[in-house]
Chain A
């Protein structure tokens, strides 16, 4: 079954404690993205990746890091989380960039930083 998986689904952590949210897709997609979704602000792109070792900033990259060492995986790293990073996070993948193909979304990770 074609899918995007994210882990964990729920995470409560404290300010400053490094964390990683994993994302994996089994569709051999080139393009992968991370988004955060906040009430009233919609989905905002954090980082995207065109392919292995090729990543670039989205609209809200501050406080986040990503890496793409394998085509299927695109982890999101928060090295020193702060309360303003409390949000619902989605990983997504599509065959290519440009919006010509469907973006498949993971189930989401609800992060709370206290």
Chain B
């Protein structure tokens, strides 16, 4: 079974701090996505990365796809209470198998 390991599992920080969440696997993915999930709702897409080494920015969020397309990171600059939520990475394949796997998630709490 392919695995996507996320770290840390839990993160509680003060408003204004920076943080990085990591997503690692031994598998090579066709693409990697980051989702955010609020309590009682389904995940919502933040970003998709498909090229090894790709970096994407979404306001204060920076996403990077590893060169070998096996890992990714999410960096948040100057975290705000509105960033609180569950962050999930997810990897997919476009050949061989068409499965889709999620990491175990990072629960972030940003304190005002």
Contacts and interface: CB of A to CB of B under 8 A. Distances in A.
B45 A48 contact: no
Contacts of B90: 43, 99, 103
Given A42-B105, A45-B99, A48-B100, A99 B40 contact: no
Contacts of A98: 30-31, 92-95, 98
Nearest to A58: B99
Interface residues of A, number: 29
B82 to A, nearest CB: 20
Interface residues of B, number: 31
B100 A100 contact: no
Given A42-B102, A42-B104, A97 B42 contact: no
Contacts of B42: 4, 90, 92, 105-108
14 contacts: A35-B102, A43-B88, A45-B101, A45-B102, A98-B94, A98-B95, A99-B33, A99-B91, A99-B93, A99-B94, A100-B31, A103-B33, A103-B90, A105-B41
Interface of A: 4, 31, 33, 35, 40-45, 48, 50, 56, 58-59, 90, 92, 96-103, 105-108
- What are the nearest 8 A-B pairs in CB distance? A99-B92, A105-B42, A98-B94, A99-B31, A97-B98, A43-B102, A42-B104, A102-B45
